[in-house]
Amino acid sequence: MKRTTTITLFYTGIAAICVGIVSLAMWLRSGLTTPYEPTVIDTGKETAPQWFEIGKDLAATNQANEKVKLSDLRGKVWVVAEFFAVCPHCAVRNGEELRKIYDEFKGNPDFHIACISVDPENDQQERLKDYAAAIGAETKNWWFLNAGDVKTTHSYLEHELKFFGIRERTDPLDIETNGRYAHDLGFILVNRDFKVVGKWPLADARSEEAKKLDPELYQKLKDELFARIRLELNQKPTATP
């Protein structure tokens, strides 16, 4: 098979997967009883509970070379996302969306964003620092985190936070175009009690395929996420630290 044909088939497959993900999200969302209960998806196999407490902690180093833990954010409302510094989709798609969220809520001391690298081998502190500076993230309320071991990090993201499974790419052209890892671009929201309360696939909703299915989906999801953040910020913690 010619290389051009292989590449065409590959990206056709990616487009089909994107359509499937967004369609699944829309189907799951249609069965919810309230507009503020998005479904959190497990690693592509089962649907996780809409509310679940994060059972295990994760220690990491942030862009300021500070040793931190996710449990340090207990009592705050925070958005968590996967990223790696050379991922073109993280910068162009998720970076823009996260910046909008950050600009809206950065004035509230109880709001935080945590971006966890799926490529800790290469995203060392200096690279995290440069990335944070480029996107305008202040360490006090937006962390870029390296959690160390790749296997441990991926397992935590997939099984504890319920992101989709992370896949390491092997085709050189694919790596050059899309980066080393294929990973979930959704945003997970965690409340003051260290409980996941939903997941919002804003990047997927911005794709051309999703716009064809529902031109208003992106704005619906964005408005819902912002409303849910405001709702959670107005709540007081109920769990005992």
Domain map (residue ranges) of the chain: 3-233
CATH of domain 3-233: 3.40.30.10
State the 10-residue block means of pLDDT for the chain, 241 residues long: 43 45 42 35 42 94 97 97 80 82 96 95 92 92 96 95 92 83 92 95 87 92 97 84 53
pLDDT of residue 152: 95
Residues 241, 101: Cα–Cα separation, whole Å: 27
Of 158, 142, 65, the C-alpha closest to 106 is: 142
* Strand-pair category, 187-190 with 195-200: antiparallel
Of 97, 87, 80, 82, the C-alpha closest to 203 is: 97
pLDDT of residue 207: 83
pLDDT of residue 241: 53
Do residues 200 and 225 make contact, with C-beta atoms less than 8 angstroms apart?
Answer: yes
Residues 159, 166: Cα–Cα separation, whole Å: 11
pLDDT of residue 2: 45
pLDDT of residue 98: 92
Instruction: Indicate whether this model's pTM tops 0.95.
Output: no
Compute, in degrees rounded to 10, the torsion defined by CA atoms 185, 229, 227, 98.
Answer: -40
pLDDT of residue 239: 56
